[in-house]
Structure 1
Amino acid sequence: MRLLLDENLPKRLKQDFPAHEIFTVRDKQWNGVTNGELLKLMLAEGFNALLTFDNNLQHQQNFTKYTLAVFVLNAPVNTYAELTKLSSQINAFLTAGNLPIGPVIIKTR
């Protein structure tokens, strides 16, 4: 699967998804692109999912227009030490292969 890490996530998080093709917003040179435009670019380039720390994204976009999963990571802070704890939940969705469309809140159990 093709995954994109939003610019609000540490790039080190890429190492938690070795079985997938994963890029950061910076890798794609999409820094500063608005959320709606970012989702359009992702569709055009064949991405399957966005990982973000932006809890407002789920309320700002009409996801019926996009066929992407958006994993909204919910943790006290957006450091690798905290966010890596959520990676197994995301990997479970990715392994199942049937990604939901739209936002999925991923938080510590």
Structure 2
Amino acid sequence: MRILLDECIDRRFAREIVGYVVKIVPQMGWAGVKNGKLLALAVEEFDVFVTVDRNLSFQQNIPQFDIAVVVLQAPSNSLAALKPLASNLLASLGSAIKGQVTVVTG
């Protein structure tokens, strides 16, 4: 399973997602690309897109994209705030469905 982390997530969080191929948006050369176009690019190479953008599901028609979207609900996008969500994120990956949003909380 290949996972893409949104650029708003601290890149060091990728180390917490063990057992998967994880890239961050800037690594792919997609920094600054807006959500719809970003998701369209991501479906070509990734199975899951992880973000902290709670509005993504309201701004985009997620079912049109062949990628699972996981929204991390944390007080901020800092590494300290995200790290406690890592185990729940890992647990949710197996049940994340393409074209749907999964919300991960602490």
Q: TM-score, normalised by structure 1?
A: 0.90
SS in 1 for 2:26: coil
**Structure 2 unpaired stretches of 5+:** none
CA distance in 2, matches of 1:44, 1:83: 26
Which residue does 1:78 correspond to in 2? 77
CA distance in 2, matches of 1:67, 1:89: 23
Query: Segments of 4+ in structure 1 off by > 3 A?
Result: none
CA distance in 2, matches of 1:92, 1:77: 21
1:29 CA drift (Å): 0.9
1:30 CA drift (Å): 0.2
**Structure 1 unpaired stretches of 5+:** none
Matched, 1:16 2:16: yes
1:20 CA drift (Å): 0.4
CA distance in 2, matches of 1:27, 1:19: 19
Q: TM-score, normalised by structure 2?
A: 0.92
Matched residue count? 105
Give per-residue Cα distances to partners, 1:67-94, cap 9 Å, x unaligned. Answer: 2111111111111111011111111122
Matched, 1:56 2:55: yes
Question: What RMSD over aligned residues (CA atoms) do the two structures have, in Å?
Answer: 1.1
1:99 CA drift (Å): 2.3
